[in-house]
Structure formats: C-alpha cells, structure tokens
Structure 1
Amino acid sequence: MLNSERARPLPPDERRASLVAAAIPLIAEHGLKVTTKQIATAAGVAEGTIFRVFTDKTELIQAAINTAFDPERTLAELGAIDIGLPLFERCLAITRVLQDRLVTVFKIMIAMRMAPGQPKYRPKQGNTPGQVGPPGSPGASFDPRTEQIFHEIVRLLEPDSARFTSPVKDVANILRLLTFSGSHPYISDGNLLTAEQITSTVLDGVRRRPDTPDHGGPRC
C-alpha cells in the first residue's frame, strides 16, 4: 500500500461500537470529566470522528452506559461456558462472567453518581421505572433478561444438583448474591472478593471440616 493511501474507514456501526467500547472504561474512571479527546485517543481516531457518529458528548456517554448495562453480552458469555467442565471450573467461569460486568457497572455508577432513577444518564436498555440496580443484579427484577441470566446460571449448575445440600436454584441465587455483594466496593469496604473466593465459599463454605472439597479448586 502506498503511503498516501489510507486504511478503509470503518462502517458507521463499527465506528460507533469502537467509540463506545473505548468510552466505557474511561467513563468508569473519570465519570463526566472524561473528554472526547480522551475517548478518541483510546479509540485510535481523530476527535472529529466522534461528532460524525454522535451528536455530542452526552449522546456518546449515554450510548456507552446503555452498552455497559445491557445484559446481552452477559447472556452470550454464560451461554458459551462449557457445561462439561468440572463443577469448580464451571462455577468459577460463571462467577467471572458475572463479576466482570458488575465491577464495570459499579465503577460507572460511582463515577457518574448514578443513583437509581437518575434521569439524565439513566441506562435506557432494559431498565424500567422502579428498577433498582443494574440488569442482572439481584435487585433488578423488572428486566426479563435478569431472569434469563438466573436461568442460565441454574442450567449450568444443574448437572451437579445431586451434589448440593440445597436446591440448585438456591445455590444459583447464593452465587449471584455473593458475587453482587463481593464485587461492590462499598458493600465489601473496598476489599473485593476474587472469583476464586466466591466460588470456593459457595461450593465449600468457610468452616473447616475433616473431609476435603471434591470440586477441584482451593478452599476459601
């Protein structure tokens, strides 16, 4: 390719997705103080590119928040987990998927000071009036995709239901609740639980026993 030739520009949808992906971690870090120059630099484009895709910074931030809160990626990642994995590895994979999204969402909420119902930058995908917390979290009960996430967790744990002392739905709910609370910087006092700690606690508890865990992972 000659030096004078330029790479073919991305289609508008791909350009939009690239800018949104670049904006999400910056919004989580800087909140409203993030600049379009920072976002453009992270996306590897000129700052003017943003305004050929979005009306203004507000629209870009809103799109980024919508994407961060949207449960579809979580559903897709849960659906991709190999149900044939050993129990510990399978539960660990579930926890990592849930925690990855929750940590990002919590960072954005804190950086943006997004109390439930905050009007200007309220997530618009899957949220309805009265909903508390991000879709997929225990408190987000109005989005049907929240239930889909729960059912995916149940489906992935179901093969080992006979090994649990509680019904598999109860185990799935405990896993979701501990992941939520252990991933929130205020609830955990800044000491976030690792995915391994969450998985081990759910599967083996914290009390010492003479037997050893048979889940294939370390004890908490």
Structure 2
Amino acid sequence: MASTTSDTWPAASTQPPSPAAAGDEPPGRRGSGRARPLPREERRAALIAATLPLVAKHGTKVTTRQIAKAAGVAEGTIFRVFPEKESLIQEAIRAALDPAPLLDDLNRVDVTLPLRDRLIRAAGLLQNRMTRVVNLLIVLRLQQPPQDIAVDRAAVRTTNNQIQEAFVRLLEPDREHLRYPVEEAARLLRLLIFSGAHPMNTEGNPLTAEQIVSVLLDGVRRHH
C-alpha cells in the first residue's frame, strides 16, 4: 500500500461490534434460537455488524450462509433487507471506513489525564482503527477504496482536519511544556502512528501506542 494513503483511509473506525460474542446470543435472537422481529433499520445494522468480521476474514468470498449464521437469522432475511450479497458487503466496508466513531472516541479522551496517558489513549484509538482498516484492505487485496465506494476528497480532508483538531485539543493543556507548537506536535504524532502501525513498514512488529508516545515525548537519547 502506498505510503501516501490518507490516515483516515487506513484510518478505524471503530470496528462495528461483533454480533455474537462467546456465550452471547446474536442481536435479535430469541432464547428459542429464532431471530425476533426487528425494525428494518435495526435488522440492517445487525446484518452489517455480523458481516464485517466475516469480510475481514474471508473477503468477498464470504457466503450468505455464513452471514446468516453469524447474525442468527435465516438466509432469506438477508434478502428482505439487501437486494444481493454484494450490497451488504459494500455497506459493511462503508461502516468500517466511517470515521465518526473514531472522532467520537478521540473527543471523549479526558484532557485532565496526565499528558502521556491521554496521548497513549488517543494513539491507541487511531492505531487500532488504522490496523483494522489496513488489514481489511489486505484481505480484499485493495490499495485504495473499492471503486464502487465513492470517495469524497473534501470529506477526507475534513476528517483529517478533525483528527488533527482532536489531537491538538489533547496537547493544548501542556503547550508550554512542548518544544514544538501543539499543531506540529499533533501532526508528528499522527505521522508516527501511521508509520508505526502500517504492516508494510513494521514487518509484523508494529510499534505500541506506548512506544509511539515515548518517541514523541522523550526521543531515543538517554536523559541525564
């Protein structure tokens, strides 16, 4: 994957929650094993959530039978919500690329935490999203968004700016303790996260959020 890819593209989202954690019933499933009736939008969201982990594992070769089993529904239920399997897969990919959950999580990081702690938290959030999306693209054998998912370049720039602003917010309380302006420190942190999490750069040994923040705040030289 080209290193110029926007950090919101291997940027996320927070991955939709798995619909069937061990010992839990899939959403909408009754104790009898049958799926209880759900409003259309809730059923749609449940099917997307069930599909995304399967797409991340199997790519577009995932079957409707696998999806139905994960969602706890009959195969016919899928086609009452989506016209065909491909449209469900595309919606699952869109959900994976949606930056809104990441932005919400970043904006919830407590600015009263010590600087190192708040940056580790934020770095971990962005790193986890990037890792999930990059791994998804690898499974799909893509280096850019699928062609049938339109990319709004203006929206990408807006999202990048929002992520930058979220990091600036977290750095702002310690502005006077930094050798760089907070805007530049935020940019450096994002670059470290991107380069340290990308599998093409890390050879299977990505940097941890703690390592990334340590490099940003402390560098690599011994301090006397």
Compared CA separation, residues 144 and 53, structure 1 to 2 (3 A): same
- CA 197–64 in structure 1, closer or farther in 2 if over 3 Å, else same: same
CA shift in 2, pair 1:162/1:33, >3 Å:
same
Question: Runs of at least 4 residues of structure 1 off by over 6 A?
Answer: 3-7
89-98 or 189-198, which deviates more = 189-198
Q: Which residue number in structure 2 is paired with residue 183 of structure 1? A: 197
Change (3 A) 1:59 1:165: same
- Structure 1 unaligned spans of 5+: 132-139, 211-220
Alignment match, 1:98: 126
TM-score scaled by structure 1? 0.80
Aligned to 1:217: none
Root-mean-square deviation over aligned CA pairs: 2.3
What is the alpha-carbon distance in structure 1 between the residues aligned to residue 105 and residue 185 of structure 2? Answer: 20
Q: Alignment partner of 1:89: what SS?
A: helix
- 1:35 alignment partner in structure 2: 63
Q: Does 1:58 align with 2:86?
A: yes
Unmatched runs of 5 consecutive residues or more in structure 2: 1-30
Tell me the distance in 2 between the aligned counterparts of 1:23 and 1:199.
34
Summarize deviations over 1:34-63 as a string: whole Å, max 9, x none.
Answer: 222222222232222211111111101110
Q: Which amino acid aligns with 1:156?
A: L
Aligned-partner SS, 2:58: helix
Most deviating of 201-210 and 72-81:
201-210
In structure 2, relative to structure 1, the CA distance for the partners of 1:4 and 1:189 (3 Å cut) is: closer
Where does 1:1-220 land on structure 2 (aligned, <5 Å)? 8-116=36-144, 118-120=146-148, 122=149, 124=150, 127-128=151-152, 142-210=156-224
Whether the aligned pair in 1 keeps the contact of 2:65 and 2:75 (CA below 8 Å) is yes
Provide the rounded CA distance (Å) in 1 between the counterparts of 2:38 and 2:124: 31
Number of residue-to-residue matches in the alignment: 195
Larger deviation, residues 47-56 vs 73-82: 47-56
The residue type equivalent to 1:108 in the other structure is L
Identity of matched residues, %: 51
Deviation at 1:82, TM superposition (A): 1.0
